Amino acid sequence: MLLVFITLAATFTPIFAKLSVAEISPLSFGFFRFGTAAILFFITLKIRKQDLKFERKDYPRLLLLSLLCIPLNQFFFLSGIKLSFASHSGIIYSLNPVYAYIIAVLIRYEKFKLSKLFSILLTVLGIVFIFYENFTATQVNNDVLTGDVLLLFAVLTFSMYLTLGKNIIEKYGALKASTFIFLVGSIFYIPLFVYDLPNLTFANLTYKGIIGYFYLSFIVAYLAYFIWYYALKNIQVSKLTTLSNISPLLTVLFSIIFLGEYISLFFIIGSAITLIGVFIMHRVSIDIS
């Protein structure tokens, strides 16, 4: 049941995000989403009688993680998905382990392994195919291309957050570290929210936007976070990584069913190449470990 929950949480995140930003301005929605999640984390922290004290040397890293996780990631993700498609988001976010590995190599957390180079090249080729059809003069495709680029930056900031935050979370625990990051990140988000206030309106809000807000705030940002870390401790990594390869495919499928998104031949080819590259990356990592 945990595996099913994690898979579905990842699968429907782009779909509900697409529905929500169609009714609420993306920048304002991101503030409401993580503001709610931050409060839920803080309440949970107090119930478990933990504090928010950290060693002084760790505060710069915590502040950087707060900036990456909330204002930067949410700006790129929600702004990107408003312009692009949920199906594109599902495939692009599958690049997370590739990004995370490259970042870990660059900051010398890991050593570069030639066995992973082929996987990286495959994912690059896949993304080129996905982007190719949007290099046209039409306004619609320009919007989609812009959205896809924003989504790439969303994955980059999230991968940086995961890689740079690994030691902090291992040192202090997921709850304590995440509570600080979500609270401070929400404070960092306030200037974006204030800037976006003229665009904030609930005139177009329907049950779809409300359900999307509940899903992304409570189910994904709060509940799925705990379940993911619990799963890492109790479920084989091979099973988790296999399901992480299934989620993008399910996102594409449900995007067609629920959102009526059009899937082109270039997108199919690019997605297949990208997911094969990510899958090989996972397998190599498992074999090495």
Give the chain's domain count.
Answer: 1
pLDDT digit string (tens) for the chain, length 289 residues: 777 888 888 899 999 999 999 999 999 999 999 999 999 999 999 999 999 999 999 999 999 999 999 999 999 999 999 999 999 999 999 888 888 888 888 888 788 887 788 888 899 899 888 887 766 545 456 788 899 999 999 999 999 998 898 889 889 988 899 999 999 999 999 999 999 999 999 999 999 999 999 999 999 999 887 777 666 566 655 555 556 678 899 999 999 999 999 888 889 999 999 999 888 877 766 555 4
Is 158 within 8 Å of 96 (Cβ atoms)?
yes
- pTM comes to 0.90
The burial of 116, by beta-carbon neighbours within 10 Å (0-12 exposed, 13-18 middle, 19 or more buried), is given as buried
Domain of 108, in residue numbers: 2-288
Q: Measuring CA to CA, which residue among 92, 13, 85 is closest to residue 270?
A: 92
